[in-house]
Amino acid sequence: MNISRFTFNMFGVNTYILWDDISKEAAIIDPGMINDVEKKEIDEFIKINKLRLKYLINTHMHIDHSFGVAHIRDKYGLALMANTDDQFLAERLNQQAKMFCLSIPVADLAIETVLKDGDKLKIGDEDIIIMQVPGHSPGSIVIYAIDSNFIISGDVLFQHSIGRTDLPGGNYQQLINTINNKLMTLPDDTIVYPGHGFETTIIEEKKHNPYI
Ligand SMILES: [Zn+2]
């Protein structure tokens, strides 16, 4: 499975596209495109690589990860997939924008397809597994590509850091517990692609992450 990272909007969110070379099936994770230039970058990438976008997935429904959701949903006719425990955030995107003093209006969203722990999706021949890892937000999920040996960790786990827990529904102890129980038990060489910043590995975080 191929993975490409794009970094969008004033929060520097990582948007990922996963795709299979043979079938050209693809998933977009956390579309953060906030303006026409960023939307065009994604559209061109999909076009040039002849990808067939199959899934639109959000690791969670914070606004910085959601600016480009409506564009992808409408242009490619996809349902927004996320965990239902973040529905209250999807319904309050405009309120989130105001909280961060953003002057742009942001349309609220609805989670159309619910993803929960253990769900399997397919890109080409490869399974991707959904893991619920709440704490940064109640509905935070991590996407695990077992055969390709990587996770997309959203704002749960970063290189040498973890997600903030001071936003609505955040819970520090729950975050630490679920990281330790669900992520630190993955193989040491699993690559971690976070929602902000650069990639890391499970072993690197076991050794050097001060929070876990
Ligand atoms: Zn977040």
Cα gap 8→65, rounded to integer Å: 9
Model pLDDT for residues 44-56, shown as the tens digit of each residue: 999 999 999 999 9
Note the CATH number of domain 2-208. 3.60.15.10
Model pLDDT for residues 153-203, shown as the tens digit of each residue: 999 999 999 999 999 999 999 999 999 999 999 999 999 999 999 999 999
* pLDDT of 38 over the 90 cut: yes
Model pLDDT for residues 115-130, shown as the tens digit of each residue: 999 999 999 999 999 9
Q: What is the pLDDT of residue 103?
A: 84
Mean pLDDT of the chain: 97
Q: Calculate how far, in angstroms, residue 18's C-alpha sits from the geometric centre of ligand 1.
A: 20
Q: Calculate how far, in angstroms, residue 155's C-alpha sits from the geometric centre of ligand 1.
A: 5
Q: What ranges make up the beta strands (E) of 43-198?
A: 52-57, 80-82, 113-114, 120-123, 126-132, 141-145, 150-154, 157-158, 161-162, 191-194
Cα gap 14→202, rounded to integer Å: 19
Q: Calculate how far, in angstroms, residue 140's C-alpha sits from the geometric centre of ligand 1.
A: 8
Q: Calculate how far, in angstroms, residue 62's C-alpha sits from the geometric centre of ligand 1.
A: 5
Average pLDDT of the segment spanning 52-81: 98
Average pLDDT of the segment spanning 3-28: 98
Spell out which residues have Cβ within 5 A of ligand 1, the ion.
62, 155
Q: What percent of the chain has pLDDT over 90?
A: 94
Residues 6+ apart with CB under 8 A from 81: 55, 56, 57, 58, 111, 112, 113, 114, 115
Domain boundaries, the chain: 2-208
Q: Calculate how far, in angstroms, residue 82's C-alpha sits from the geometric centre of ligand 1.
A: 13
**Where residue 79 falls among pLDDT bands split at 50, 70, 90?**
very high
Q: What is the pLDDT of residue 105?
A: 81
Q: Calculate how far, in angstroms, residue 137's C-alpha sits from the geometric centre of ligand 1.
A: 7
Q: Calculate how far, in angstroms, residue 23's C-alpha sits from the geometric centre of ligand 1.
A: 32
Q: What is the pLDDT of residue 106?
A: 86
Global confidence as pTM: 0.96
* pLDDT of 104 over the 90 cut: no
* pLDDT of 150 over the 90 cut: yes
